[in-house]
């Protein structure tokens, strides 16, 4: 995301009083040169800010002060940690990632993030390493808390379970394993209509690096345009204008409606 797009996002944010939360994601959003400006201005406007953090970025050269920056601006940190032990984490994200993630979590804990009753929110994210649905979120959260506390002295607030979406790299994995049809059937056969009211696409507007607009981050990955007919941030005067427009959908949407549901805030039930 370049300077012009970042500037326009902040202009729209200022003009859209109903937008309460700015959610920054994209692999390692902290590496974007406009990240701190986006956070600082959003907080000045009174918005809650979430950073979707891969944790290892906190150990990169020049990024060591990020935990203090987060704390200063009361940024909610949502951190990816596919498991509470090294084997599954390194299977999914590479050798050495687990140890780095634990070190990053300790740095956040040292500032008060994730500690019981602390105002600095630290949540973790789990997604399966294979072609199956996540286990019940509350049960897995309790296991994570016990394992991370006993093994590493780590504290956090909530665990979000996310269903793997059959797109991009995971779709390629399914193809290599010959599991595309089986996984699609799993999602369809576990469709849960009661998850629909809480789907992220009903309250989220996803902005791409070039200012293009999408109904959710998954649609952005698929380059499936906003269902409202508006295509970029330069076609809007305020975000309210697309609040009640149609939502673009596809077969991948069964991933968010299967079982207990899946959203940017974890399970829907």
Domain ranges of the chain: 1-161, 170-269
Residue 88 has a pLDDT of: 79
Per-residue pLDDT averaged across 188-212, rounded?
95
Residue 263 bridge partners (DSSP): 266
Q: Where are the alpha helices (DSSP H) in 17-165?
A: 35-44, 66-72, 86-93, 97-110, 137-152
Residue 26 has a pLDDT of: 87
Per-residue pLDDT averaged across 9-29, rounded?
94
Question: DSSP 3-state assignment of 252?
Answer: helix
Tally Cβ neighbours within 10 Å of residue 103.
Answer: 14
Taking CA atoms, 11 is separated from 69, 102, 139, in Å, by: 23, 37, 42
Pick the closest to residue 126 from 155, 166, 93, 173 (CA basis): 93
pLDDT tens column, 50-94? 999 999 999 999 999 999 999 999 999 999 998 888 887 887 777
- Residue 252 near residue 239 (C-beta atoms within 8 A): no
pLDDT of 49 over the 80 cut: yes
CATH class of 1-161: alpha beta
**How does the average pLDDT of the chain come out, rounded?**
94
């Amino acid at each position: 995301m370049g300077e012009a797009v970042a500037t326009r996002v902040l202009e729209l944010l200022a003009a859209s009083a109903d937008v309460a939360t700015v959610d920054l994601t994209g692999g390692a959003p902290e590496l974007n040169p406009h990240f701190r400006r986006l956070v600082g201005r959003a907080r000045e406007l009174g918005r809650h800010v979430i950073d979707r953090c891969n944790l290892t970025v906190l150990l990169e050269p020049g990024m060591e002060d990020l935990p203090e920056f987060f704390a200063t601006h009361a940024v909610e940190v949502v951190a990816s940690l596919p498991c509470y032990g090294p084997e599954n984490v390194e299977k999914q994200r590479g050798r050495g990632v687990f140890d780095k993630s634990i070190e990053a979590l300790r740095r956040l804990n040292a500032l008060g993030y994730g500690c019981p009753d602390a105002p600095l929110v630290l949540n973790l994210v789990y997604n399966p390493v294979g072609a199956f649905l996540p286990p019940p979120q509350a049960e897995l959260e309790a296991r994570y808390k016990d394992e991370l506390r006993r093994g590493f002295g780590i504290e956090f607030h909530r665990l979000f379970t996310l269903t793997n979406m059959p797109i991009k790299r995971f779709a390629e994995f399914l193809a290599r394993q010959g599991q595309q049809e089986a996984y699609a059937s799993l999602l369809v056969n576990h469709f849960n209509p009661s998850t629909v009211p809480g789907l992220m696409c009903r309250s989220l507007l996803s902005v791409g690096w070039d200012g293009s607009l999408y109904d959710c981050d998954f649609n952005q990955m698929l380059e499936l345009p906003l269902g409202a007919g508006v295509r970029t941030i330069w076609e809007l005067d305020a975000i309210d204008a697309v609040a009640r427009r149609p939502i673009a959908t596809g077969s991948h949407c069964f991933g968010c409606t299967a079982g207990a549901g899946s959203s940017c805030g974890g399970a829907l039930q």
